[in-house]
Chain A
Amino acid sequence: MKLKSALMLTTGMAMSATMASAEAHMADSLTLVSWGGAYQASQVAAYAEPYMENNPGVEIVWDESSNEAVARLRAMNEAGNITWDLVDVVASDAIRLCDEGLAMEIDHDEVLAPAPDGTPASEDFGDLIVSDCFIPQIVYSTTFGYRTDVEEWNGRTPDDICDVFDLEAFPGQRSLERRPINNMEWALLCSGVAEEDVYDMLETEEGIQMAFDKLETIRDETVWWSAGADTPQLLADGEVVIGSTYNGRLFSVIEEQDQPVAMLWDAQVYDLDGWIIPEGLPEDRLARVLDFLYFATDTQRLGDQAAYISYGPARASSAPLVGDHAELGIAMAPHMPTDPANAERTFLYNYEWWADYRDDLDARFQAWLSQ
């Protein structure tokens, strides 16, 4: 009896000692950076809350600074004081951060969980790993929504991207983003350029002029937005009849707010969003980040996220897990940008190309807008 209790005591002490040393390697707070709004809410519900349930001592702090993440990380790097642990950015920003040495390069198979059937993470994510620093979470798209109650359209509904440029058949105000990316591609597609030639054409003076000429036809009939929330608001108020924004925002206008708006999926532009780890984290914080990351990017968690927002999970193995919306109870699969019915014609945002041409084309675009 005495021996037994002594044994139990020593094992107990040994166990608590090993646990304590494992805990000591990990920081107990985590600063995550995201976009705010419905998207961040989906991350909180799908990753952060379950993680905190499993790790009661850990505090997760959210910072809604993703839209200026590159500039802030560069400033932190110059100051030598990194205050963020894990940052949610779009793929193009991840590539830039990786190039500039501001994000940590990782081995995806080592850091991330394999799929339930054992497929390594790098195969499960596949082509979506566009940079060695990037851990994809979702696929989203920039696409159009239109009002379904426009009298002047006489019952017609737009089903082609070029209807955006057709003021005769579809009169009314449009809304487009105040930057060249996506707009130039759409304009060229509707100037008769084949999909595969778009970027080649945009490298030529002739192609740029062609795109601007096309955009010129609707420039004065367009509200040029700079925040993703603008188009949903403009559509809901009837201020514009057709406008571009992220598909998740349109989902919330259509399904959650029940506005007379429908999706125009034609020529939607895919983009990715995911995590990067800032370069130069101290060891204990890095250990905590890796622990969280392993959990938050596994097949189940990415599948869970789709119950809160209509963005496609980045893992192939998560696709079958996409179920119903957590509150509305509607099936989410038909609202995903990757759903076959929605993805008849899609466009891939060419990161490399825009990294080169963005400075130049943006200057031209702003000059053109200001005329």
Chain B
Amino acid sequence: MTDAAAQTEAKSGPVLAADGRPLKASLRRALRAQKMRALLLIAPLLLFIMITFILPIADMLFRSVENQIVSETLPRTVVALEDWEDHDQPPSEDVYAALYYDLFEAAEFRIHSRVGSRLNYEMTGVSSLFRQSGRGVGRFDTDIYTDQFAELDADWADPRVWATLMEDESVRAALPETASAYDGWVNVTIEANEDDPLEEDVEDYVYTALYRDLAARGYDGSSAMLSEAAEAVGAFETVSLREQFAEIDEDWLDPAVFETIWVYSPNYTAGYFLTAVDLQLTADGIEPQSEDLRVYLTLFKRTMFMSLVIMGSCVLLGYPIAFLLANLPMRISNILLILVLLPFWTSLLVRTSAWKVLLQQQGVINDILVWIGLVADNDRLALINNQTGTIIAMTHILLPFMILPLYSVMQTIPPSYVRAAKSLGATDWTAFWRVYFPQSVPGIGAGCILVFILAIGYYITPELVGGRTGTFISNRIAYHISTSLNWGLAAALGSILLILVLALYWAYDRIVGIDNVKLG
């Protein structure tokens, strides 16, 4: 047939449609229109999912490696630290000067303590160091530079003179530190203080930069004012910025602080992911986290293990119920189905709190056990605020997600198969195990995937009934999102959880086959 068509085509050119166009193009056009229509129909949903689901998740995942805050807040310091060689000694005066300019500007924008909190995740104490220093840099003794320049020539105190000077490209090239400090100051004045840089007094740190430039490089350009200043600075009274910082806090002399800034200065970091698997990023590379800080791997393992146990107990409890539902007359099974669905209509919190009343040591279950005499009054069972509590409460909450797919799959299994098996001499057990059960496996698969994936991300129930041994990794994620505000670490933990789920899904597909999952 194809050959015949090809022969015809070869003989008389392409086959034409009624309107004279080649049939192939016409068909393609019709198909494209159809595809477009389909795409347009799903477009609202697609857009909705993109905007409300995919993009936020992508943004969150991106936070797990993002680390721009250090290099954006302390740009000069990060550059200056590149020349720092002996990491056992505090860095040179250049680094302290860069830090001075950076911190001053950051403090004006009130963002210096953000970078402090960021670095505090890596090194305890940096948070308050930055907070104090943000205030402290405004009180440095660097006003002596300002005064000495003004004494030399009153024009130095005039912001308009500065503005004219800083427009000159050759001056900017000769005084790079001053140019950078001045630009920063102009930015701060306009953006943070909403003032006019032509009216406001130039800050001390710009004079400090000018002094440092002139003292280090001299000046041989055309500006008379600068030449005069360059000659005079040799006799200036000076102030050590390192000592100024040390006066705010001795910790500024600790090389470890600069080491931390240096290690976390790149725009992207693996630090959060490493912390999430109980490792840490140091100047010497990746090292295991100190033993008393290791918690995340334990929690990941516990989350996996307990989710599997919960899934298992859902299968054990759910299968007989689904079997019963599928094999009872419709009228009775409908009533029973309502009982299965009933918990869905109750708040999750109410259900969890109800378990507290039932399971606690002075609770209903323990009271009954004591009354029967199974348990001594002074030796009541600990059923809550531990793993047992989490497993019991979550099995109950997730049970409907197991029963419903099982039920809908079992309903489609024709009873005649089991009857046929029995009529051929199979026992009840053989008929069930060899004929009925294999047909219900897709329902088990669907239920297991649902329950497991829901369990792995559960947070409220373990928080309320988990005590100290029954909490999940999601509780730590919630803590980092809402309390410690370490969103990077929360994102890294969340990403790992996502990867784990995808890996398990893939493994399931390889072992059982995803085609073998049915929701009905």
Residues of A within 8 A of B (CB): 67-68, 70-71, 74, 96, 99-101, 173, 178, 219, 223-224, 226-227, 233-234, 237-239, 352, 355-360, 362-364, 366-370
Q: Determine if A359 and B360 form an interchain contact, defined as CB atoms under 8 angstroms apart.
A: no
Q: How far, in Å, is B410 (CB) from chain A's closest CB?
A: 40
Interface string of B171-196 (1 = CB under 8 A from A): 00000000000000000000000000
Max chain B Cβ within 10 angstroms of own Cβ: one of A68, A360, A367: A367
CB of B293 within 8 Å of the partner chain: yes
- The answer to whether B110 and A100 have CB atoms under 8 Å apart is yes
In whole angstroms, what is the CA distance A71 to B483 when docked? 7
Shortest Cβ distance from B116 into A: residue: A99
Q: Does B507 contact A (CB under 8 A)?
A: no
Is B124 a contact partner of A360 (Cβ separation < 8 A)? yes
Name the 4 nearest CB pairs between A and B, nearest first.
A101-B110, A99-B113, A367-B295, A360-B124
Residue of A nearest to B302 (CB): A370
Name the B residues within 8 Å of A101 (CB-CB).
109-111, 114
Contact B298 A237 (CB under 8 A): no
Could you jot down 12 A-B contacts, CB within 8 Å?
A: A70-B482, A71-B482, A71-B483, A74-B485, A101-B111, A223-B385, A233-B356, A356-B125, A359-B484, A362-B484, A367-B292, A370-B302
Contact check, B125 vs A364: say whether CB atoms are below 8 A apart: no
Contact of B114 among A70, A71, A100 (CB under 8 A): A100
The yes or no answer to B476 lying at the interface (CB within 8 A) is yes
Please tell me if B361 contacts chain A, counting CB pairs below 8 Å. Answer: yes
The answer to whether B298 and A370 touch across the interface, beta carbons within 8 angstroms, is yes
| Among candidates A68, A100, A238, residue contacting B113 with C-beta atoms closer than 8 Å | A100
Asked whether, in the complex, the Cβ of B111 is within 8 Å of the Cβ of A239, the reply is: no
**Known contacts A366-B295, A367-B294; A359/B114 CB under 8 A:** no
B131 touches A359 (CB 8 A): no
Q: Which residues of B contact A366 (CB under 8 A)?
A: 295, 476
In angstroms, how far is the closest chain A Cβ from the Cβ of B148?
Answer: 33
B468 in contact (CB, < 8 A): yes
12 more A-B residue pairs beyond the given contacts A357-B124, A359-B124, with a C-beta to C-beta distance below 8 A: A99-B114, A99-B117, A100-B110, A223-B467, A224-B467, A227-B464, A239-B360, A352-B128, A360-B293, A362-B484, A364-B292, A369-B468
Cβ of B439 within 8 Å of any chain A Cβ, yes or no, is: no
Q: What is the chain B residue whose CB lies nearest that of A99?
A: B113
Q: Specify which of B361, B463, B482 is in contact with A68 (CB 8 Å cutoff).
A: B482
Task: Give CA–CA (A237, B298) in the complex, Å.
Answer: 32
Instruction: Collect the chain B residues with CB atoms within 8 Å of residue A352's CB.
Output: 128
Is B362 in contact with A367, judged by CB distance below 8 angstroms?
A: no
Complex Cα distance, B294 from A368, in Å, reads 9
**B92 on interface, CB distance cutoff 8 Å:** no
Chain B residues closer than 8 Å to A68, beta-carbon distance: 482
Q: Determine whether the beta carbon of A359 is less than 8 Å from that of B120.
A: yes
Of all chain A residues, which has the CB nearest B128? Answer: A356
Q: Is the CB of B482 within 8 A of A368?
A: no
Question: Interface of B with A (CB < 8 Å)?
Answer: 109-111, 113-114, 116-117, 120-121, 124-128, 131, 292-295, 298-299, 302, 356, 360-363, 385, 463-464, 467-469, 471, 476, 479, 481-486
Nearest residue in B to A366 (C-beta to C-beta)?
B295
Q: Which of B114, B124, B361, B483 contacts A356 (CB 8 A)?
A: B124
B483: min CB distance to chain A, Å: 8
A67 adjacent to B128 (CB under 8 Å): no
Give the docked Cα–Cα distance between A239 and B128 (Å). 41
The residue from A219, A239, A357, A358 contacting B361, defined by CB atoms under 8 A apart: A239
Verify B481–A71 contact, CB threshold 8 A. yes
Which residues from chain A contact B302 at a C-beta distance below 8 Å? 370
Once A68-B482, A101-B111, A360-B124 are accepted as A-B contacts, the answer to whether A238 and B362 lie under 8 Å apart by CB is yes
Q: Is the CB of A359 within 8 A of B295?
A: no
Instruction: Find the A residue at minimum CB distance from B298.
Output: A370
A356 to B121, CA, bound (A): 9
Smallest beta-carbon distance B104→chain A, Å: 15
Known: A239-B361, A364-B292, A370-B469. A226 touches B463 (CB 8 A): yes
Q: Provide the bound-state CA to CA distance between A359 and B385, in Å.
A: 25
Q: Which of A100, A237, A362, A369 contacts B362 (CB 8 A)?
A: A237
Does A224 contact B124, Cβ atoms closer than 8 Å? no
Complex: A357 Cα to B483 Cα, angstroms: 14
Within the complex, the shortest CB–CB distance from B493 to chain A, in Å, comes to 13
Please report the C-alpha to C-alpha distance between residue A227 and residue B467 in the assembled complex, in whole angstroms: 12
Bound-state Cα–Cα, A224 to B485, Å = 22
The CA-CA distance from A55 to B339 in the complex, in Å, is 51
Cα–Cα, bound, A369→B471 (Å): 10
Distance (whole angstroms) from the CB of A69 to the closest CB of chain B: 9
Minimal beta-carbon separation of B251 from chain A (angstroms): 11
Checking A74, A100, A368 against B292 with a beta-carbon cut-off of 8 angstroms, the contacting residue is A368
Residues of A within 8 A of B113 (CB): 99-100
Q: Do A359 and B292 touch across chains, with their CB atoms under 8 A apart?
A: no
Q: Complex: how many Å from CA A357 to CA B126?
A: 10
A234–B363 CA distance with the chains assembled, in angstroms: 11
In the complex, which residue of chain A has the Cβ closest to the Cβ of B294? A367
The residues of A that contact B120 with a CB separation of less than 8 Å are 356, 359
A369 to B476, CA, bound (A): 13
Cα-based distance from A233 to B363 in the complex (angstroms): 12
Q: In the complex, which residues of chain A have a beta carbon less than 8 angstroms from the beta carbon of B481?
A: 71
**Shortest CB distance A160–B (Å):** 26
Interface centre among B127, B463, B476 (most CB of A within 10 A): B127
Give the residue among A101, A173, A363 with the most B Cβ atoms within 10 A: A363
For residue A67, which residues in chain B have a CB less than 8 angstroms away from its CB?
A: 482
A175 — nearest CB in chain B belongs to which residue? Answer: B385
Q: Is the pair B485, A70 in contact by a Cβ cutoff of 8 Å?
A: yes
Give A359 to B120 CA distance when docked, in angstroms. Answer: 7
Contacts of A369 in B (CB 8 A): 468
Task: Tell me the smallest distance from the CB of B467 to a CB of chain A, in Å.
Answer: 6
CB pair B295–A370 under 8 Å, yes or no, is: yes
Tell me the minimal C-beta distance from A235 to chain B in angstroms. 11
Q: Are A99 and B131 in contact (CB under 8 A)?
A: yes
Q: Which chain A residue shows the least CB distance to B490?
A: A71
Q: Contact between B127 and A370 (Cβ–Cβ < 8 Å)?
A: no
Residue on B with the closest CB to A105?
Answer: B110
User: CA A221 – CA B308 in complex, angstroms?
Assistant: 28
Q: Are A363 and B124 in contact (CB under 8 A)?
A: no
- Closest Cβ neighbor of A208 among chain B residues: B292
**A369–B117 Cα gap in the complex (Å)?**
25
Among residues of B, the one whose C-beta sits closest to the C-beta of A234 is B360
Cα–Cα, bound, A74→B360 (Å): 38
Whole-angstrom distance between the Cβ of B136 and the nearest chain A Cβ: 14
Q: Are A178's CB and B468's CB within 8 A? A: yes
Q: Measured between alpha carbons, how far is A359 from B292 in the docked complex, in Å?
A: 13
CB-defined contacts of A237 to chain B, threshold 8 Å: 360, 362-363
- How far is B242's CA from A356's CA once the two chains are assembled, in angstroms? 23
Question: Which partner residue on chain A sits nearest B484 by CB separation?
Answer: A359
In the bound complex, how far is the Cα of B361 from the Cα of A238, in angstroms?
9
Q: Which residue of B lies closest to A353 (CB)?
A: B128
Instruction: Give the residues in chain B near A173, CB-CB below 8 Å.
Output: 361
The answer to whether B293 and A364 have CB atoms under 8 Å apart is: yes
Cα separation A234 to B353 with both chains bound (whole Å): 12
Which residues of chain B come closer than 8 Å to A233, judged between CB atoms? 356
